[in-house]
């Protein structure tokens, strides 16, 4: 299921295909609705009614590109949707537009670069997508301005339990949430598959307003930098270290009691868990904790290398840890 989820394309605001796929996997006893921002909100019935309303959330959108212009000679100019390092873009193959045509992201050949140009990475405004069209008219036959474009990237298992794919951020969260919805739970909760995270946690703000939870648990992929040469304190979090629970990131200062409690729950239940060693990144908690007059919110994340690139990497056992901790949190917070 994670493979299919990652291979589906959906930048912010174009999450339709992801949402349709998820709806197809919902258990028949769950009521669901789609709100004005495209958030999919699912009510899961447990065996008991909780005292507190619990919201679990994962975002459906991924980083990608939007076509902004077609040149006279048929090349497509584009802009990133979400935070993409321009250096992971050059020389990639992409799928473009409603007709899903193939293209390549390119710029001047390396042989034609000046000494100064060789020191620089090509910026977005120096690159274009080549779909093989001879001119604008021919290109317009395949692509319209405003269409989206996506990295072509296989879902590949490698090494000792690692997975590489595009969009692991946050289709891993979607997968965990789908798994939890399809298992027996003790208490009712609301699952939200939200939109537009990558352009400023916009879907989650609306979803939280519509759900009005007492507690929210955000399921995410978070940035890990545990590669060679990075000092221990700067790795942020490590693959294989288990679920990541954060005290603070660029978008949220988390409820400290809730943070400590999550670590304790993990410890008590033998679930691998770690915190971040840096204040970096952000997620839907930023929007959710400020909505409806305040929501106690926690983010439980899968450590992810090379995030926002076409080759995100995660460890399968960490995905399982995040699921286990999220399930425990529902039970603990329901009657807090």
Partner 1 sequence: MDILEVIEKLTACSGTPGAEGDAVETAEKYLSEYGETRTDKLGNLICEIEGGRSGILLDAHIDRVGLIVTSITPEGFLRVAKCGGIDGRTLLARQVTVYGREKIKGVTASVPPHLQRRGEDSKAVEIGDILIDIGMDYENAVKAVQPGDRITVDSELLHLAGKKIAAPALDDRCGIAAVLYALHTLKGRECGRKITVVFSTREEVGGSGARVASYNADAQECIAVDVSFAKTPDSRAEECGILGGGPMIGCAPSLDREISEKLKLIAGEKRIPYQLEIMNGRTGTNADCIGVSGKGFRCGLLSVPLRYMHTGVEVVSLNDVKNTGELLAQYILDGGVFDA
Q: Are residues 285 and 182 in contact, defined by beta-carbon separation less than 8 angstroms? A: no
C-alpha 258/C-alpha 299 separation (Å) is: 10
Residue choice 48, 49, 51, 87 for contact with partner 1 (CB under 8 A): 87
Q: How far is the CB of 272 from partner 1 (least distance, A)?
A: 17
What is the CA 79 to chain-centroid distance, rounded?
Answer: 19
Q: Which residues within the stretch 253-272 sit at the binding site for partner 1 (CB under 8 A)?
A: none
C-alpha 326/C-alpha 336 separation (Å) is: 15
- Asked if residue 246 binds partner 1 (CB under 8 A), the reply is no
What is the CA 195 to chain-centroid distance, rounded?
Answer: 10
- Look up residue 316 and give its two tokens: 């399968």
Q: How far is the CB of 236 from partner 1 (least distance, A)?
A: 7
Which CB atom, from 214 or from 226, has the smaller least distance to partner 1? 226
Q: Is 197 a catalytic residue?
A: yes
Name the nearest CA neighbour of 326 among 214, 163, 179.
Answer: 179
Q: Are residues 3 and 153 in contact, defined by beta-carbon separation less than 8 angstroms? A: no
Choices 114-122, 180-188, 286-294, 295-303 (CB under 8 A): range interacting with partner 1: 114-122
Q: Which residues contact 202 (CB under 8 A, 6 or more apart)?
A: 12, 37, 195, 196, 287
Residue choice 3, 66, 107, 331 for contact with partner 1 (CB under 8 A): 107
Residue choice 91, 137, 145, 269 for contact with partner 1 (CB under 8 A): 91
DSSP result, 289-322: TTSTT--EEEEEEEEEETTTSSSEEEEHHHHHHH
Question: Which of helix, strand or coil describes residue 326?
Answer: helix
- Look up residue 292 and give its two tokens: 């409806």
- Asked if residue 142 binds partner 1 (CB under 8 A), the reply is yes
- Asked if residue 154 binds partner 1 (CB under 8 A), the reply is yes
DSSP result, 277-291: SS-----THHHHTTS
Choices 14-22, 69-77, 172-180, 289-297 (CB under 8 A): range interacting with partner 1: 69-77
Name the nearest CA neighbour of 219 among 13, 59, 333.
Answer: 59
Residue choice 31, 49, 69, 71 for contact with partner 1 (CB under 8 A): 71
- Asked if residue 29 binds partner 1 (CB under 8 A), the reply is no
Residue choice 146, 229, 231, 233 for contact with partner 1 (CB under 8 A): 229
Strand 296-305 vs strand 215-224: parallel, antiparallel, or unpaired? parallel
In the set 4, 140, 186, 197, the catalytic residue is: 197
C-alpha 131/C-alpha 137 separation (Å) is: 13
String of contacts with partner 1 for each residue 161-190, x by CB under 8 A: xx-x--------------------------
Residue choice 236, 237, 285, 299 for contact with partner 1 (CB under 8 A): 236
- Asked if residue 138 binds partner 1 (CB under 8 A), the reply is yes
Residue choice 38, 64, 122, 242 for contact with partner 1 (CB under 8 A): 122
- Asked if residue 223 binds partner 1 (CB under 8 A), the reply is yes
Question: Which of helix, strand or coil describes residue 266?
Answer: helix
Q: Are residues 58 and 170 in contact, defined by beta-carbon separation less than 8 angstroms? A: yes
The residues binding partner 1 (CB under 8 A) are: 71, 73, 75, 83-88, 90-93, 101-112, 118-123, 126, 128, 130-134, 138-139, 142, 152-154, 156, 158-162, 164, 223, 225, 227-229, 236, 250, 278, 280-281, 305-311, 313
The residues annotated with a catalytic role in the active site are 197
């Amino acid at each position: 299921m994670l493979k299919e989820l990652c291979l589906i394309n959906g930048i912010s605001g174009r999450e339709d295909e992801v949402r349709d796929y998820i709806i197809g996997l919902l258990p028949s006893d769950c009521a669901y609705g789609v709100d004005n921002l495209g958030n999919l909100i699912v009510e899961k019935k447990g065996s008991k009614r909780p005292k507190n309303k619990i919201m679990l959330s994962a975002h459906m959108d991924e980083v990608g590109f939007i076509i902004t212009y077609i040149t006279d000679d048929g090349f497509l100019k584009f802009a990133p949707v979400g935070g993409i390092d321009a250096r992971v873009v050059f020389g990639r193959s992409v799928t473009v537009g409603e007709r899903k045509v193939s293209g390549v992201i390119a710029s001047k050949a390396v042989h034609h670069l000046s000494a100064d140009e060789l020191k620089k990475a090509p910026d977005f405004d120096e690159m274009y997508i080549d779909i093989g069209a001879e001119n604008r008219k021919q290109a317009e036959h395949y692509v319209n301005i405003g269409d989206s474009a996506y990295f072509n990237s296989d879902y590949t298992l490698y090494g000792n339990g690692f997975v590489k794919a595009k969009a692991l951020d946050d289709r891993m969260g979607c997968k965990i949430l789908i798994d939890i919805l399809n298992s027996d739970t003790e208490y009712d909760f609301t699952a939200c598959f939200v939109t537009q995270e990558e352009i400023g946690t916009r879907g989650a703000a609306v979803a939280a307003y519509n759900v009005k939870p007492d507690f929210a648990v955000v399921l995410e992929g978070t940035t890990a930098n545990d590669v060679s040469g990075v000092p221990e304190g700067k790795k942020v979090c490590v693959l294989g270290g288990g679920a990541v629970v954060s005290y603070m990131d660029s978008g949220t200062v988390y409820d400290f009691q809730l943070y400590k409690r999550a670590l304790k729950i993990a410890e008590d239940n033998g679930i691998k868990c770690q915190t971040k060693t840096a204040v970096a990144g952000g997620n839907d908690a930023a929007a959710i904790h400020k909505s409806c007059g305040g929501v106690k919110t926690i983010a439980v994340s899968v450590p992810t290398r090379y995030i926002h690139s076409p080759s995100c990497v995660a460890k399968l056992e960490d995905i399982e840890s995040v699921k286990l901790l999220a399930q425990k949190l529902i039970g603990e917070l329901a009657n807090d």
